[in-house]
Amino acid sequence: MTPLSPVDFLRRAGDVWPQAPAVSDVSGARLTYAELRGRADRLADAIRGAGVERGERVAVLAHNGHVLLESHFGVPGAGAVLVALNTRLGPDEYAYILEHSESRVLIVDPAHLPMIESILPALSTQPAIVLIGRDYESWLSGSSGPGMQPPDEENDLIAINYTSGTTGTPKGVMYTHRGAFLNALGDTLTFRLGPESVYLWTLPMFHCNGWCFTWAITAAGAHHVCLPRPEPAQVLAAIAEYRVTHLCGAPVVISSLATHPQAGQARFPWGVRAAVGGAPPAPQVIENAERMGMEILHLYGMTETYGPSLVCEPQGDWAAEPLRRRAELSARQGVRTAVVRQVRVVDPAGEDVPRDGATLGEIIVDSATVMAGYFRDEAATAESLRGGWLHTGDLAVMHADGYIEIRDRAKDIIISGGENISSVEVEHVLLDHPGVADAAVVAVPDERWGEVPVAFVTRAQGSEVSEEELIEHVRSRLARFKSPRRITFTDLPRTATGKVQKGVLRERGRSAHRD
């Protein structure tokens, strides 16, 4: 049986669209698909030439750009396993991941080299260092051989993605060639990608291999436009310059575009589809984006599902709804993608919750696009995949139309005086105030109620909204016990993938409570 592998996407793109633009990035690199395929072929040869055996790991530490993109094909094309490293970690985290993965080679951007050099003496497995730039180009130019080759088996590993590690030790989530192939095709169908598409990389490629869009965009023969960081002014400029049709990111990325001073002049009449994930987008974010000519597509997934596994697929009759109602419908997590077999919302006994939009349960997933497990962690794998289903830890309701809506992470539900409070629900109400740009709600201890909600808020530019005004705003929309007991105005700490670090905020809240 011929193994499925996304490596074949680039081989095909090089044959079918050899002169079409494949990559444009701010470093000045411009590559056609024939050139990108040639570079990935030489990278595969260079990796084999360095003595890397099939199944061994090759790490890459770089911002979005053609090197990280071609690594998604050249590394697995050599039979090796890609470990794309988060660019915002500290030395201890890099040391742990490199040691745990036993990476044989580390391709690294010069800006990160001093930190990497500081940890190398402590590693029992010393990776060969290849510096992006002249060293990397010389490494490629000196290679020769058969280029990218298919895997021996489609369930061979293609990548190990380490979780962001907001709490505890990062886990290495194992992806197979088959799972990556299928989820990339799911992305292509879900996002309606084709050769005419222009995709702007505002999402880090290291995060779930760019939600598998590194492979999906290539499968479609579309144009990758790479930005190292999603700075709002650069994003808006790139959308206009390249006539971008698609992009992905956390809701905060879209919100930062809609509230940027240049947003008032930004209009995209050709249409831009923006997929958001990592956190439920507030209806206000969707409204603001639509005013700019951006269509929001809400995706849900996690590292353990190769990125997207649910999509809030728009229904035809939604277009007739008022903007506010349409935004509320579009903020739900939705229904399974074309490549996901089944998604359920279940109670603690494992039974499906009623479709009443109110009864909470945990989202569980059964799919060929669920991870193979955690690298070298059998206990965590068994716990996460118990009963043959991936247990996500996300609490949601099932609506009458079969659409799923997350209400919270299990660990983020606030239980105050025996009442459950969804932090997401309170956050959405806060974000609906025009004076709020960003918001997070967490629990802090309380002598009487056990715990109560507190909020951390970033004001919108030019806003002077007060704590009292926001608390009253929440009370006007929700039950009184759900309103924050206090509000701290600050920038929210986030991971590199856009998730709010609620553990950090909980500790701030507890510290303030003790004081």
pLDDT tens sequence across 209-261:
999 999 999 999 999 999 998 888 899 999 999 999 999 987 778 878 877 77
DSSP symbols for 395-452: EEEE-TTS-EEEEEEGGG-EEETTEEE-HHHHHHHHHTSTTEEEEEEEEEEETTTEEE
Amino acid residing at 264 = G
What is the third-level CATH fold of 413-514? GMP Synthetase; Chain A, domain 3 (3.30.300)
**40: left (phi > 0), else alpha (psi -120 to 50), else beta?**
alpha
Residue 202 tokens read as: 């505002």
Distance CA 254, CA 297 (A): 11
- The SS3 of residue 459 is strand
CB 9 within 8 A of CB 184: yes
Judge: domain 1-229, CATH 3.10.20.30: no
> Which position has the higher pLDDT, 449 or 57?
57
Residue 52 tokens read as: 């890397």
Amino acid residing at 363 = I
Q: What share of the chain is helix, strand, coil (3-state, %, to 5)?
A: 35, 25, 35
Give me the residue label for tokens 């206090």: 486
Domain borders along the chain are: 1-229, 340-409, 413-514
Distance CA 470, CA 432 (A): 10
CA 89, 94, 95, 96 torsion-angle sign: positive
> Which residues have a Cβ under 8 Å from the Cβ of 446 and sit 6 or more positions away?
416, 452, 485, 513
**93: left (phi > 0), else alpha (psi -120 to 50), else beta?**
alpha
> Which position has the higher pLDDT, 340 or 448?
340
What is the CA angle 60-40-201, rounded to 5? 60
Distance CA 225, CA 199 (A): 6
> In the structure, what pLDDT confidence band is assigned to residue 167 with cuts at 50, 70 and 90?
very low
CB 234 within 8 A of CB 200: no
pLDDT tens sequence across 169-211:
789 999 999 999 999 999 999 999 999 999 999 999 999 999 9
> Which position has the higher pLDDT, 89 or 68?
68
Distance CA 407, CA 347 (A): 14
CB 338 within 8 A of CB 382: no
Q: What is the pLDDT of residue 164?
A: 63
State mean pLDDT over 335-358.
97
State mean pLDDT over 354-364.
95
pTM for this one? 0.85
The CATH class for the domain spanning 340-409 reads: mainly beta
Q: What is the DSSP letter of 170?
A: -
Question: What is the bridge-based pairing of β-strands 361-366 and 157-162?
Answer: unpaired
Q: Which of 14-23, 299-308, 385-394, 497-506 is predicted least confidently? A: 497-506
